[in-house]
Every structure is written in C-alpha cells, then in structure tokens.
Amino acid sequence: MTERAIASRGTIFPHFELLAADGSPAGLEVYRGRCNLVVVFAGEEPGTGATAPLLEELAARQEELISEMTQVLIVSHVAVASQIDPETFPFLIDVDAQVHHRVGAADNAGCPTPAVFVTDRFREIYATYVSSEGSALPGAEEIIDWLRFINIQCPECGVSEWPL
C-alpha cells in the first residue's frame, strides 16, 4: 500500500465531487469564495462513534456557524444514517472511500477513519484533525474559534450569497 498523504494546514483542500444523500451530484466548488468549510469525515456510520458528539454540538450551534459564514459537510463511505438530518448538514457519500484516502482520512490498513478539516472560503486548510494520526477530534468550540480566526484574517470578505 502506498503511503497516505494527509491534507495539512496551509495547503488547499482537494476538490472532490460525490453524490449527496438525495442522489444529486455535489462538490466543493459551489462553496468556493462563498463560505468557510468544516468537512467531517465519518470513519463509521455517521451519527455513531467518534463523530456523533461533534455533529450534535455543531448542530446545536448552527446559528454561530451561519454567523461565521460556514458550511459543515459530512462525508461517509456508508449510506445515510437515520440519525443524520440532511437538512442540518449536507451529507455526501464516498462509496469506495477514495476521497477518504485522498485527504488522509484512512488508517494504515486503508479503512476510513474519522477526520475533520477546517478551511477558509478558498479551501485553504487552517486545522486538521485525523484520528488515525493520534489527533483527538475537536469540539464545536475549537472549530468555531478557528472560524473566527479565519474571518479575522479577511474582514472585508463578506459574502452576499450566504447562506447558500
């Protein structure tokens, strides 16, 4: 198996297109220049395991995420879990886990693992948390702190088309 590359701070988060839970194509380009992104890779069925508490916290703080011009995306290699409300966060299905592998959200055996990436509106990565690399997943407060920091870096970057 080839060595995994992990999308890291200061690099551009790779573009990808997957199917959304409703079967429509969805990609990152629609968000470019419009909003910050928090991309949560569920290493297990979304709504269970390590990502469940984080997703609950983020859902409870949806207003803050909107005020920070941020979209949360959930990426999983399994079908939509009944615990996930697709109205809260878009849910993208990475059936063959290729995107998980491309960004480093897979362990050394190639199994998808929980990971979180926080990017600005141009997909520059500001924070990376990959559980297979020993990183604990962040809480909502830590993510929102990153988003505030990102928005301080570019205060004139107000987005008129937000929320999407």
What is the predicted pLDDT for the residue at 153? 85
Residue 149 backbone zone (phi > 0: left; psi -120 to 50: alpha; other: beta): alpha
86 closest CA partner among 14, 24, 129: 24
Q: Tell whether 159 is covered by a domain.
A: no
Q: What angle do CA 96, 34, 11 make, to 5 degrees?
A: 55
Print burial letters for 7-16: b (CB count within 10 Å at least 16), e (below 16). Answer: beeeeebeeb
What is the predicted pLDDT for the residue at 51? 86
Q: Tell whether 8 is covered by a domain.
A: no
Print burial letters for 73-107: b (CB count within 10 Å at least 16), e (below 16). Answer: bbbbbeebbeebeeeebbbbbbeebebbbebbbbb
Domain assignment of residue 92, given as a range: 17-153
Q: Tell whether 44 is covered by a domain.
A: yes
Residue numbers in the chain where pLDDT is lower than 70: 1-5, 44-48, 79-86, 133-134, 155-164
Q: Tell whether 162 is covered by a domain.
A: no
Q: Tell whether 109 is covered by a domain.
A: yes
d(CA 139, CA 147): 13
What is the predicted pLDDT for the residue at 46? 60
Q: Tell whether 42 is covered by a domain.
A: yes
Strands 17-20 and 25-27: antiparallel
What is the predicted pLDDT for the residue at 81? 54
**Residue 40 belongs to what H/E stretch?**
strand 36-42
Q: Tell whether 9 is covered by a domain.
A: no
127 closest CA partner among 16, 38, 67: 38
What is the predicted pLDDT for the residue at 4? 54
What is the predicted pLDDT for the residue at 2? 44
What is the predicted pLDDT for the residue at 41? 92
Q: Tell whether 76 is covered by a domain.
A: yes
CATH number for 126: 3.40.30.10
Domain count, the chain: 1
- Residue that is written with structure tokens 């297109």 in the block: 17
DSSP β-bridge partners for residue 18: 26
